[in-house]
Chains A and B, each alone.
Chain A
Amino acid sequence: MAAIVGQAVISVALILALYAVFASLYAAYQHRPEWATSAQRALLAIFPLLTVAVGIVVWGLVTYHYELTYVHEVSERAMPLYLRATALWGGQAGSLLFWSWLMAAFAAAVTLRDWRRDREMLPWVVMVTAVTLAFFLFLNVVLESPFKRFWLLPNGDIEAFVLPPADAQLFVPKDGRGLNPLLRHPGMVAHPPFLYLGFVGFVIPYAFAMAALIVGRLDARWIRLTRRWALISWLFLYLGLILGSRWAYDVLGWGGYWGWDPVEISAFMPWLTGTAFLHSVMIQERRNMLKHWNMLLIILTYDLVIFGTFLTRSGVLSSVHSFAQSAIGPAFFVFITLTFLGSMALLGWRWNDLRGKEQIQSAWSREALFLYTNLVFLSMTAVNFWGVVYPIVSELVTNQKATVGPPYYERVMGPLSALMLFLMGVATVAPWGKVDTRRLWRMAIKPAVVGLALPAWAWWQGYRKPGALLGFALIGFVIAVLLYDIARGTWARRRAHKEPWWLALARLMTRNRRRYGGYIVHLSIAIMGIGIIGIEYFQLETQRTLAAGERLTLGEYTMVYDSVAIFNTNDGRQVARATVRVLDEQGREVAVLYPRQDYYIRDQQPMTIPGVLSTWGEEFYVLLVSWKPITTEGATFKVYYNPLVKFLWAAPWVAIAGTLLAAWPEGRRRRSRARAKAPAATPAPASA
Chain B
Amino acid sequence: MNKTHWGWLVVALLAVAVVGFWVVTAQDDEDYRLTDPAHPLALEQVSDDEVNRVAKYLYCPVCENIPLDTCGTEACSRWREDIRRMLAEGYSRNEIIEDFVTRYGDRVRAEPPPEGLHLLVYVLPPVLLVAGAVVLYRTVRAWMAASAEVAAAEQALAAAGAAEGDPASAPDLEDDEYIRRLEEELNR
Contacts and interface: CB of A to CB of B under 8 A. Distances in A.
A402 B182 contact: no
Contacts of B29: none
B22 A411 contact: yes
Interface in B148-187: 150-151, 166, 168-169, 171, 173, 175, 178-179, 182-183, 185-186
A438 B6 contact: yes
B136 A375 contact: yes
B117 interface: yes
Contact of A403 (B65, B117, B143, B179): B65
Contacts of A493: 182, 186
Interface in A361-416: 361-364, 368, 371-372, 375, 378-379, 382-383, 386-387, 390, 393-394, 397-398, 400-408, 411-412, 414-415
B102 interface: no
B110 interface: yes
16 contacts: A360-B147, A400-B105, A403-B106, A403-B112, A408-B111, A408-B121, A412-B125, A418-B18, A434-B151, A434-B166, A435-B169, A441-B6, A488-B178, A489-B182, A489-B186, A495-B179
Contacts of A363: 4, 7, 140, 144
A431 interface: yes
Nearest to B18: A415
Contact of B72 (A401, A508, A626): A626
Interface in A299-358: 317-318
Given A402-B112, A418-B21, A488-B178, 5 more contacts: A403-B108, A489-B182, A492-B179, A493-B186, A512-B186
A261 B65 contact: yes
Interface string B86-109: 000000000000000000011111
Interface stretch (A19-27, A78-86, A122-130, A542-550): A542-550
Contacts of B186: 489, 493, 508, 511-512
A187 interface: no
What 9 pairs across the A-B complex have the smallest Cβ distances? A405-B110, A254-B70, A359-B147, A543-B48, A402-B112, A433-B168, A360-B143, A438-B3, A434-B169
Contacts of A440: 7
B128 interface: yes
A372 B136 contact: yes
Contacts of A254: 67, 69-70
Given A375-B136, A408-B111, A496-B183, A436 B128 contact: no
A262 interface: yes
A451 to B, nearest CB: 14
**Most chain A CB atoms below 10 A, which of B116, B144, B150, B151:** B144
Contacts, number: 179
B49 A542 contact: yes
A406 B151 CA distance: 49
Contacts of A387: 121
Contacts of A73: none
B64 interface: yes
Contacts of B125: 382-383, 386, 412
A75 interface: no
Nearest to A471: B21
Contacts of B169: 431-435
Interface in A625-683: 625-627, 636, 638
A378 B132 CA distance: 10
Contacts of A259: 65
Contacts of B38: none
Given A436-B171, A543-B48, A467 B21 contact: yes
Given A467-B25, A543-B49, A262 B65 contact: yes
Nearest to B26: A411
Given A254-B70, A359-B147, A492-B182, A406 B124 contact: no
B43 interface: no
Contact of B106 (A317, A400, A406): A400
Interface of A: 252-254, 259, 261-262, 317-318, 359-364, 368, 371-372, 375, 378-379, 382-383, 386-387, 390, 393-394, 397-398, 400-408, 411-412, 414-415, 418-419, 422, 431-441, 466-467, 470, 488-489, 492-493, 495-496, 508, 511-512, 541-545, 606, 608, 625-627, 636, 638
B75 interface: no
Nearest to A318: B64
Nearest to A406: B110
Contacts of A359: 143-144, 146-147, 150
Contact of A253 (B70, B120, B179): B70
A606 B21 contact: no
A403 B111 contact: yes
Contacts of A470: 17-18, 21
Interface in B119-151: 120-121, 124-125, 128-129, 132-133, 136, 140, 143-144, 146-147, 150-151
B181 to A, nearest CB: 9
B171 A419 contact: no
Contacts of B111: 403-405, 407-408
Contacts of A403: 59, 65, 106-112
Interface string B14-28: 100111111011100
B59 A360 contact: no
Contacts of B146: 359
B72 A606 contact: yes
Contacts of A362: 144
A415 B22 contact: yes
A403 B101 CA distance: 12
B48 A627 contact: yes
Nearest to A360: B143
Contacts of A432: 168-169
A305 B163 CA distance: 49
B15 to A, nearest CB: 9
B60 to A, nearest CB: 10
A543 B52 contact: yes
A411 to B, nearest CB: 7
Given A259-B65, A386-B124, A414-B22, A402 B118 contact: yes
B77 interface: yes
B80 to A, nearest CB: 7
A419 B133 CA distance: 13
A419 B10 CA distance: 12
A412 B117 CA distance: 19
A627 B168 CA distance: 66
Nearest to A383: B125
**Most chain A CB atoms below 10 A, which of B21, B109, B118:** B21
Nearest to A439: B173
A405 B111 CA distance: 6
A266 B4 CA distance: 40
A374 to B, nearest CB: 10
Contact of A404 (B6, B17, B121): B121
B87 to A, nearest CB: 14
B168 A431 contact: yes
B4 A437 contact: yes
A467 B121 CA distance: 23
A437 B6 contact: yes
Contacts of A606: 72
B187 to A, nearest CB: 8
A440 to B, nearest CB: 7
Given A361-B144, A382-B128, A438-B3, A608 B179 contact: no
Contacts of A436: 3, 171
Contacts of B175: 492
A89 B150 CA distance: 58
